[in-house]
Structure 1
Amino acid sequence: MTTTSEIAGILFDKDGTLLDFDASWAPVNRKVALIAAAGDAALAENLLRACGMDPVTGRLVPDSLLAAGNTREIAEGLIAAGAQHDLDALVPLIDDLFAGAAELSVPVTELAPLFARLRERGLRLGIASSDNERSIRVAVRRFGIDDYVDFVAGYDSGHGSKPGPGMVLGFCAETGLKPHQVAVVGDNNHDLHMGRNAGAGLKVAVLSGTGSRQSLEEACDVLLNDITELEAVLN
């Protein structure tokens, strides 16, 4: 693990890390399942279960498809569970839903002041998500952090998908940093394993998303309740 004094950049996951996962995504996941089920409510519940969401409570299984998968992986899981859709038709439907959902998403905390303070420290900042890039940019604009974000990567941005190292390496290429100078912050093991696979200097897990203490603590260097505690770690 790199000492915090060596960290020069932070690459954040989006959902469950910057955004409140349940408030932002539970209604969207239900809508995705209902569309994939062509309006069949019973099938939609089965699709949710198959992809990792309890249709009654809305709780997600850590590292399940709806917790950590990208759009294409989710679509493949829905079809495997019984959705009667062509994959290439279902993927853009889900991407469109996710992009629209970004306009209604709920942040974990006020993001603009936090990002401004991190930038004042001289840190380079990026966002790497399994969502599509369009959705990430909508959120960046909505929450007023455009001026602070140096790098954005979704599953469709050409850097590969999590837990592969590509998004971290893309952030490094954009900012001139080395992987050991980067802290990766995320709420599930796809994020943390991405950091490990890229050689990131610090892997920070947050409990504000889909991961549990048990599922995260073995893969992280630091475990926080949420990103509001990040500055204390950097101090």
Structure 2
Amino acid sequence: MSKLMTPQGSYSVSAILFDKDGTLLEFVSLWGSWSEYFLATYIKSLEERGLMMLGTQLSSLLGTVHNVHGSITDYDRNGPLAMGTMEDLCAILSWQGYQLGLSWAESMELVHNCRHVADAVLEQNRPVLPLSGLQYFLDDCVKHGIKLAVVTADETAAAEKHLSWMGLRHYFTAVIGTDLVSRGKPFPDMAHLACKALSVDPSQVVVIGDTNGDMRMAKAAGAGVAIGITGTSNNTEIYRIFPDADIIVQSYEQLRIGANPQ
């Protein structure tokens, strides 16, 4: 095993499991853009049916932070957009349509149509940006023989695509999406499946994520270390968002890999 060196100490590690959104790539760049298209299309579709949703409700729907112009600037790291599956997000908006008077079937159809519009725009723009220092850290992991996998609340095919857009897919032995397990985060299923794919014991694994759900998954799976990464967030309360983290860092520049002395 190699050594993962952090501001709070060094840890022996055989493998690292990464969350994807907000951990490998900048969350707002990708999902902020997607959510803006999703919500705008949804609201327009409601208005075409003579239905109106208050603008003040928008941030509470998916857990997003909006500026005065309505653009998404941040997100609740323990909210639906950060932690939920695509089915969860669609269910949240479908419930809103139902509450406004649509039948459940019509509301689901409307939401899924809006999702496809947002997906198409995302496919065209591909607004994926890796976190600062990520590629150097991944190269360091590979250099020292550390196995790498992704465990994400996103669907596996989408996760594979986003990693390919960034040119990072080849770093990871396995990509585990929520569609490959019965229970997503914070349950341990994805971490256990990733450990099986990497042929490592969970106790030899580090989990890195941007939500406390990632930390709780790590604890439930018996991972050796759970690291919360804050990214570029200016949220002064960010260090209270990871009550189950062993270590909290702002960026990958604070993590290094070294040889484990024999």
Smaller-chain TM-score bracket: 0.7 to 0.9
SS at match of 2:64: coil
- Say if 2:25 is the partner of 1:19: yes
Partner of 1:199: 222
With over 3 angstroms needed to count, the CA separation of the structure-2 counterparts of 1:113 and 1:44, relative to structure 1, is farther
| Pair member with larger Rg | 2
Match in the other structure for 2:77? 62
Of 100, 115, 121, 1:94 maps to: 115
SS at match of 1:219: coil
Alignment-mate amino acid for residue 89 of structure 2: I
Q: CA deviation at 1:142?
A: 2.2
> Does the residue aligned with 2:248 lie in a helix, a strand or coil?
strand
Change (3 A) 1:135 1:112: same
CA distance, structure 2, for counterparts of residue 95 and residue 201 of structure 1: 39
Which of residues 82, 86, 90 is equivalent to 1:71? 86
**3-state secondary structure, aligned to 1:128:** strand
Question: Which residue of the other structure, out of 202, 224, 228, is the alignment partner of 1:179?
Answer: 202
Shift of 1:117: 1.7
SS at match of 1:23: helix
Given that residues 18 and 109 in structure 1 are in contact (C-alpha distance below 8 angstroms), is that contact kept between their aligned partners in structure 2? Answer: no
1:231 counterpart = 2:256: yes
- Specify the SS of the correspondent of 1:174: helix
Distance 1:223 1:168, change over 3 A: same
Residue 138 of structure 1, CA deviation: 1.2
Between Structure 1 and Structure 2, the one with more strand by share is 2
From 134, 140, 143, give the equivalent of 2:157. Answer: 134
Equivalent of residue 214 in structure 1, options 228, 235, 240: 240
CA RMSD of the aligned region, Å? 3.0
- 1-structure distance, mates of 2:182, 2:254: 29
Q: Is the partner of 1:156 in helix, strand or coil?
A: helix
Distance in 2 between residues matched to 1:197 and 1:28, nearest whole Å: 31
Residue 86 of structure 1: how far off its partner (Å): 4.5
- State the alpha-carbon separation in 1 of the partners of residues 138 and 213 from structure 2: 23
Partner of 1:146: 169
1:50 to 43, 56, 61: 61
Output one character per residue of 1:126-170: Cα deviation in whole Å (capped at 9) or x when no partner.
Answer: 111111111211122222223320110112123631111011101
Determine the C-alpha separation between the residues in 2 that align with 1:100 and 1:150: 29
Query: Alpha-carbon deviation of 1:56?
Result: 2.9
Partners of 1:199 and 1:192 lie apart in 2 by 11
The aligned residue for residue 9 of structure 1 is: 15
2:96 matched to which residue of 1? 81
TM-score, normalised by the number of residues in structure 2: 0.76
Q: Which moved more, 1:185-194 or 1:136-145?
A: 136-145
